[in-house]
Amino acid sequence: MLRILTLFIASVFCFPSVWGQQTITLPKIGDTEVQYFFITAAAGNLDLSHSGVGAVWDLTEIDPDSIFPGQQIWQYIELSEAPFNDQFPDADFVLTIEENTEIEYNFLTHMGGRLETIGSFTTGDSIPIVLPQPILMMPLPVDYLDEDSESFPLVVDFFDEIDTFTLSISYIADGFGSVILPNLGGIEIENCLKLTINSKVEGFFELEEFEEFGELKLVADQTEIVFLSNDYAVPIAEYSSQNITIFTMIGPVEVPIFEFPAEETIRFMEPYVNPTRDLISGARLEVYPNPTSGELNIGGLEDIASKKLEILVFDLSGKLVVKQSQHEIPQTAVLDLSELIPGIYQMVIRTDEGIFTERVVIAR
């Protein structure tokens, strides 16, 4: 039930902009050639209240110990590749979100300047969720200082009973500036739009298990702050806060009997997770063994016509944990990672010719 509610009030994700233009057009939406990797952490230490032009939102203030295990992988796929595609013939895009072994398929439409979700399917479920009517994710294009709201009935099969709730969505694009991501010691992405989306689902229902309470009222509130950049087809970061409360009615008075608050979280992109071997011209680098128990070899360095080589290893919080510089470039460099605890790391190789990145897994 909570996951279905989350679809209704939390599937609201969005996209972004340019200093002079300050407009989100999503030129890369639907690009099936790119994967986006995300990490999630608790957001309790962050201040994202800044608005206006020239704002800076610093996500490096997250607590490294609050980073959740695992990653999400976002990618667009062709409609023909998605399960139950015959039930969503009007979908313009399918966005997949993969976490561990579970994949969620989100079916999206873009018509009349509106990006909307019309349904979803998650592996492990027997049937997809087909929304009775599309839910607005965001207008396209969206400009700095855009503001709007809408409200409409939502018919839900709630505990095998058909109930009608009201879904209200409001948004405001009140900030334009730079986002500093925690990755690699602080990656700054400029020309970002801050879009705040408030969603509320509320309505009355009855449950046989709680018939002593009579008619109950559900109120589910969610706030999302989404940071958008036209350089990417998905948000570069999303803050989320959610609270679900069930009330019993004593006359005109609403008395809360159940409350389900959710932890405030921030999900942020790892821009350099995809290998970028082409950025070092002519080089065909090999990283092995990967996973490793401690010693890591980097082969193919003889193809690099550079006089300087710097190897950096970062943990998932963006902290630099290993640094090795070489002025004479060997055919194969050996990196000692035996002092690091098992986990996922990001390796960056910098040369005069460019940059190479690779995810490294330490397993013992």
Give pTM, 2 decimals.
Answer: 0.72
Determine the 3-state secondary structure of 308 from DSSP. coil
pLDDT number for residue 275: 42
Query: 22 and 143 in contact (C-beta within 8 Å)?
Result: yes
pLDDT number for residue 358: 81
Q: Which positions of the chain have pLDDT values less than 70?
A: 1-21, 157-162, 184-185, 272-283, 316-318, 353-354
**Which H or E element spans position 65?**
none
pLDDT number for residue 42: 93
Domain boundaries defined on the chain: 2-269, 277-362
Contacts of 160 (CB under 8 A, 6+ apart): none
User: Taking the CB of residue 67, how many other CB atoms lie within 10 A of it?
Assistant: 18
Alpha carbon 148 to its chain's center: 23
Topology of domain 277-362 in CATH is: Immunoglobulin-like (2.60.40)
pLDDT number for residue 139: 84
pLDDT in tens, 152-172: 888 776 556 667 899 999 999
Separation CA 353–CA 307 (nearest Å): 10
pLDDT number for residue 243: 95
Separation CA 153–CA 235 (nearest Å): 28
pLDDT number for residue 283: 59
Residue 306's closest CA among 282, 322, 287?
282
* Partners of 200 in the β-ladder: 168, 221
pLDDT number for residue 161: 64
pLDDT number for residue 159: 57
pLDDT number for residue 276: 41
pLDDT number for residue 75: 92
pLDDT number for residue 5: 39
Contacts of 212 (CB under 8 A, 6+ apart): none
Query: 182 and 62 in contact (C-beta within 8 Å)?
Result: yes
Measured CA angle at 296 (ends 291, 302), to 5 deg: 125
Alpha carbon 142 to its chain's center: 19
Query: 160 and 174 in contact (C-beta within 8 Å)?
Result: no
* Partners of 202 in the β-ladder: 166, 219
- Tell which phi-psi region holds residue 145, choosing left (phi > 0), alpha (psi between -120 and 50) or beta: left
pLDDT number for residue 122: 96
Alpha carbon 177 to its chain's center: 19
Query: 266 and 67 in contact (C-beta within 8 Å)?
Result: no
Separation CA 205–CA 122 (nearest Å): 26
Contacts of 65 (CB under 8 A, 6+ apart): none
pLDDT number for residue 160: 62
Separation CA 43–CA 267 (nearest Å): 9
Q: Are strands 343-351 and 216-228 parallel, antiparallel or unpaired?
A: unpaired
